[in-house]
Amino acid sequence: MSYGNTILAAAVLGLFFAIYCMAGEMDYQDAKLEEQHTCEMVRDGIWPAEQAENYNCAEPVQVAGVK
């Protein structure tokens, strides 16, 4: 394997790693938004409390880009 192919392979692996990290962060942010929405709906009395039994609604949820 030549030096150029090694550099290309390292760049491709780095790109795949970056995409994997971005997808993981997006999944995490989606889960936090779902938790925030569920807690708001339960707090407003629209949904029953059983909907939020696996969430910690006592602490406010901070989501990137959402106030």
- Partners of 63 in the β-ladder: 66
The 10 Å CB-count burial string (b at 16+, else e) for 6-26 is eeeeeeeeeeeeeeeeeeeee
Residue 36's Cβ-count burial label (10 Å; 0-12, 13-18, 19+) is middle
| Spatial contact of 57 and 39, defined as CB atoms under 8 Å apart | yes
Tokens found for residue 1: 């394997």
Does this model's pTM top 0.85?
no
- Across the chain, mean pLDDT equals 89
Q: How many residues does the chain have?
A: 67
Kindly report, residue by residue over 41-59, the tens digit of the pLDDT.
999 999 998 988 888 888 7
